[in-house]
Structures are given as C-alpha cells and as structure tokens.
Chains A and B, each alone.
Chain A
Amino acid sequence: MELLSGADMIARFLQDEGVEYIYGYPGGAALHIYDALFRQDKVKHILVRHEQAATHAADGYARAAGKPGVVLVTSGPGATNAVTGIATAYMDSIPMVVLCGQVMSHLIGDDAFQETDIVGVTRPIVKHSFSIRHPSEIPEVLKKAFYLAATGRPGPVVVDIPKDMTAPTERYEYIYPKKIKMRSYNPVTRGHAGQIKKAVELMLKAKRPVFYTGGGVVTGKASEGLTDLVKQLGFPITTTLMGIGSYPQSDRQCLGWLGMHGSYESNMAMHHADLIIAIGARFDDRVTNNTSKFCPTAKIIHVDVDPSSISKTVRADVPIVGPASSVVNEMISLVQGQSISQPEALAEWWQKIDGWRAEREGKLYEPSKPGEVLKPQEVVEALCRVTRGEAYVTTDVGQHQMFAAQYYKFEKPNRLITSGGLGTMGFGFPAAMGIKQNFPDEDVVCVTGEGSFQMMMQELSTCKQYGVGVKIVNLNNASLGMVRQWQDLNYKSRHAQSYMESLPDFHMLIEAYGFTAITVNTLDELEPALERAFANKHELVFLDVKVDPFEHVYPMQVPLGAMRDMLLSKTERT
C-alpha cells in the first residue's frame, strides 16, 4: 500500500493520467502542490505571467491535441484571474481541468486572506466543479474531473483544493482509479437508429441540401467520417467558425464558413436550402442572424451530443442526440450503395451556388496598389502561401480574427484555434504558446491585432523562459478595428475609444525580450519578411504589419435580417 500526502497524490495522479504539461502560477494556498511538483520531473510545469494566460495556453493545447489542458492556480486572485479563460473554454466546449488552491477548510467562509468562493464564481461557466473535503478523495475526484472534461460535450472542470487537503504530514492510500462510473452522468454513445434512418431518407431525396457543421465535429473527432459522407453525397458544406477545417477548404464542395462574416455563397445557400444537415453546431446568433427569418424553406436535421443544443434557438425537424463520429459513420453505412433521387435538382443547385461564387468574386476587398498601405486580407493570404496552409493559426478577437478565418485556407481540423463563443481578446498569443510547446516542430502563428496583443503581451517573458518559437503576425491598424467598423456602420463614424493612442514601439518591445521583430509597411516587404520569420521553427519572431485602418470586414450580415441579407462592401448590399 502506498501512502501519499494530498499534494503528492495530485502530482502522482497527473503522471498516471499521462499529463505532460501543466500551466500555472504559484501562491500560498497552492504551495504544497508546487512542492510536490518540484520533487518529480515527469509533469512539466510552465510558469506563465498571468493566470488567464495559463488557461488560454492549456486551452490552445487542448484544442490542438484533443486532450484536456491542465491548469494550476492559487486561491483568490489566482483563481479569479483564471475566470476569463475558463469561460472561454466553456463557450467553445474545450476539455480543461483547473486545479485551484483554496484557503484551509476551517477558514472557509470567514473572508480569510485570499479566499474567494471560486466554485460559486465559476458555477455558470464550468461543466462541473468539485471541492475536495478529504485528502483521500483526491484520486477519485481528479479522475472524475478528467473524465467529465473530456467526454460527452467537453468542457472545463474546476477542482477547489483547500490547503489542508494537501498538507505533507497527512498521508493516505493512493490508488490510480483506472475507470470511473457516475450514476448521474452517462453521455450518449450513439444516435437513435430510427432517427438516423429518417435523416438519411431526407438527405437522399433533397433538392437543395447543405451540410452545416460545427465545432462538435472537431472536438468529436468526426472530420474524416464527415468528409467521406459529404463526398459520397456530393452536397455542399459550410462550417461554422469553430468547424473550419473539419472539411478541406480547398475542395469544391466546401463553401467556406457561414454567419455574420461568413462567405456570401454559404449564407445564400443556407437561405435557399430545402434541407440543412447540422452536425455539432448550435445555431448560435452569430450564425443564424434573425431566427424568425432563418432558412424559410429548409427542413432541419440536427445532430448533437448535447440534447440541450437541439431546438434551443431553431426547431429541428429530425433531432438526433449522439456523438458526431458515430452518427456520421452510421449515416455513411446507410448511404453506401444508395443513390440520390434528385440528381438533376442537385446539379441545378450547384449551378446556383457557382453563380453566387462568381457574383462575389473580387468584390470583398481591393488589394493595395504599389506603395500603398497594406490590406489586412492580403497579409493573411501571403501568410497562407508562405506556410503552405499547414500552420496552426491562433487568433485574437477583432477584424484580424475574421480576416484570418476568411483568407487562410485550412485543410485540417484543429488548425484554426480561435475564441468563437466568448470572443476573448488576449486568447491568441497564450494559446499559440500552449500549442507550440506541445507541437514544437509545427509552425504555430498567432494572427493578432495591436489591441488584443496588448492584453496578454506579458507572455513574451514566458516564451523567453521556455524558448517557445511561435510567430506573431500583428495586423496593426492602430485601432480597435472591429469596434471602429461598428461605429462606422451604426454611429456615423463617431469613434468612441476605438483609436489606440500611444502604441508602444513594438520593435523595441519585442527586442527588450531578446526576440526578433520585423516591421512591414509595403507589399514588397511582406513575403520576404514572412519567409524570414518562418525560416527558423524555434525562434519567436514578431511581424508588426502596418495595415489599412479604414478597412472593413465583409461580407457582413445586416442586423435582424435573414441569412442572405448582407453588406458586401461599403457601398453594396444584397
């Protein structure tokens, strides 16, 4: 029998669970755990410079690797600093386990030094949370935390650990629980066969079908199956922002992504469809626009592992509760050997779609002329060329995020890493850091804006400590571009607080940390700078690219309109 202190149990559990990296920041209530981590060398602890960055780094890792990210913070301010990152992971259904130190049990409720009811604070933004009440519970509670975080619809789990639970003097038996069962938690493992059959029947006789797939396909590891299914049927597919890459974007059947800044052809196809096959997507308001005008002629099949996502905002005609991968595979086996009953209608549908594609060609932005300030869109296009469309691209939030999603062509899932649900400025850089540490031989680039980058730029120091060679492409428009765009459109260009005065000299800032910075002003400087930046995989390089501050993101759905109601440029709308 092995007797361990609570702190040593945590360290041992993380080893036994196969956790390689843990992101955190120490403080009083977590010090026993820190000491236990110090006395072992299997689990590597990455010291960030702000707890929010720890959660984003773990989140980035979780998205890229498809495994839970792990965070360790102290009580009070340590835990509250992690809140934004927990909410970010929650909104995008990302598996994460957050271990929070807490004041000693006998002090809880007394407003003790650095006491925060973090279980209470995070209650609406976690999948579940635990408070440890006895050290002997630790292995089982941690196993439950990892199990809950990663299964069903994934999400963050908080574990609150009072300091006395980790005291080195109290030792209890440690056994790694290989399996866990919870009577109150049984995620579905497959969809209802009858419903799947009904869905396939509708698919086979559809005239104007479109697949609409989301992050659930990515987290549910169903991309391969989905690609097969879509190819077999020959239907068009549009993905959500979170689903980008779950079907190769270079393929003719892929219409890009949909919604507020989605592609013209995606939104038009959705509006005119007679059948929408939604998989792992949640009909979010940034997708549907006005739900009362949403896809007036379509029947809706909705596959989701979370029943509460189905018929939440838009009523499904064929609801299917189940994991994307198993449902898609069952659909494939039903489709095999069958042929669609309306091939002419489908051919006509494709003609229509190709017509929409042709219509928007060249409309959405005008490339810069020699000597002019760069357009952010062409910077992303160049980035895609230089990295051959293979990089992990993280983004912050704003115009640059939309441009990155629109103009980088993603061929694989998990390659666009972005805060879709919460829209958290500051997410991109620490997320890139988390990915790069775990995939050191891949190109990892954060496309950011000068506003967002300044929210988490302290992590340059972390990158310096651990030699993290991420690339940062700062689309520097010297303004909070997305805010400014809304002010142009809705507030007669009254730019209230959307102009970034007193920007730092990014060149000097980056050099202060010992990294390379390259400033780019014109088109002829752009590709050489990108080539230089990506020449060495292990070196952090920051590109400060000066871009046009007057540019807007288009298409843009007209507020309260239907999917098809879009602005295509500053002067044109559908």
Chain B
Amino acid sequence: MRHIISILMENEPGALSRVVGLFSQRNFNIETLNVAPTEDPSLSRLTVTTVGDDRVIEQITKHLNKLIDVVKLVDLTEGNHIERELMLVKVKALGAARDEVKRTVDIFRAQIVDVTPSLYTVQITGDATKLDAFLQAMAPVGILEVARTGVSGIARGDKVLSL
C-alpha cells in the first residue's frame, strides 16, 4: 500500500542524505520526496511517499525514527489527512487545441500562469491522482515539460505534528 510519511528533522547538513541513504541502503522505495524548513528554522519537514506491506512500512518508520536527526514522524495515511502536490506543466497550445487546453484547465481548477503564442504554462495543485489525470488529459495535445513538487501532507482535525 501507498503511505505518506512526514518527518520533522534537525535542519542540519547531512540530515537529508541520511534519510535518502536509508531508503536505498535498506532497499525501501521512495516515490516522491519533498523537503523544506518549517516555521522553526532549526527544523525541516520532509514528506516521503512510499509503497510497501505492513511489515515494510513498520521497518521504514522504525529505521527513520532511529536516525539521530529525526525528531518526530507520522504516517499520515494511518488517519484522515490532506494530501497536496503542486505541478507546473508546459503544454502545446496551438490552433484549436489552445481553447481545448483552456477548457481542461478550468475543469481541473488549474491556472494558466504563463503564455507564449505556442504554449501555456499551467499550475495545478491537488492529490497525486488528480495531477496524473490532468497529465493524461493533456497527453494528446502535447506535454513539453513537467515539474512536480512531490507530495506534501498534513493530518485533518486537531492532530498536529510538532515538538
């Protein structure tokens, strides 16, 4: 199953490489990875999506917790949560396709953030499946470039991941 694990870790040089190294060293899998400092500059929040059965996910969380730089973590998929990813896509927008692209962008509640005579740059946020669906819809028109941030997430309700 797919899991979203969010980690608070020391904002120290080398901390990220320890997390990433752990995944390759122990043959765990990383689908997306996203990391940035939090409101507390001494802490970074890293979110990783991974797939594995219960045994593997248990090992992943245990090994992450064992890293000295990791302060706290949560498997967001264990409860209700909000999952978001941001994507920027350059698509061909020529002739009849130009209107077609605009319509699809509206349907997906995406935004066109840059234009040239021959292409649109689209910004879209949502969960990973929505972004995948948008890419599928755009494929016939011609996708020129894709930049995705990887999944970020947060628990619904009162639950807070903090120190």
Contacts and interface: CB of A to CB of B under 8 A. Distances in A.
Contacts, number: 38
Interface string B17-53: 1100100010000000000000000000000000000
B68 interface: yes
Contacts of A311: 55, 58
Contact of A184 (B17, B58, B62, B70): B70
A306 B67 CA distance: 12
Interface string A201-225: 0000000000000000000000000
B71 interface: yes
B71 A307 contact: no
Determine the interface band of chain A, counting residues with CB < 8 A from chain B.
20 to 34
B66 A128 contact: no
Interface in A102-123: 119-120, 123
A129 B69 CA distance: 10
A119 B14 contact: yes
Given A123-B21, A183-B163, A307-B62, A148 B55 contact: no
A308 B63 contact: yes
A184 B55 contact: no
A307 B73 CA distance: 15
B68 A308 contact: no
A148 B68 contact: yes
Best-surrounded residue of A129, A185, A315 (most CB of chain B within 10 A): A185
B9 interface: yes
Given A183-B163, A308-B66, A311-B55, A124 B25 contact: yes
Contact of B68 (A119, A124, A131, A182): A182
Contacts of B17: 120, 123
A127 interface: yes
A315 B53 CA distance: 14
Given A129-B14, A148-B68, A184-B70, A308 B21 contact: no
A308 B13 CA distance: 25
Determine the interface band of chain B, counting residues with CB < 8 A from chain A.
20 to 34
A184 B10 contact: yes
Interface string A306-322: 11101110010000000
Contacts of A182: 68
A110 B14 CA distance: 18
A184 B59 contact: no
Nearest to A124: B25
Contacts of A312: 59
A127 B68 contact: yes
B121 interface: no
B111 interface: no
A172 B163 CA distance: 32
Contacts of B21: 123-124
Contacts of A308: 59, 62-63, 65-66
Contacts of B63: 308
Nearest to A307: B62
Contacts of B13: 131
Given A148-B68, A184-B9, A184-B68, 6 more contacts: A123-B17, A129-B14, A182-B68, A184-B69, A307-B62, A307-B66
The 5 closest A-B pairs by CB, nearest first: A308-B62, A184-B71, A128-B68, A124-B25, A307-B62
Interface of B: 9-10, 13-14, 17-18, 21, 25, 55, 58-59, 62-63, 65-66, 68-71, 163
19 contacts: A119-B14, A120-B17, A123-B21, A124-B21, A124-B25, A127-B68, A131-B13, A183-B71, A184-B9, A184-B10, A184-B68, A184-B69, A306-B66, A307-B65, A307-B66, A308-B63, A308-B65, A311-B55, A312-B59
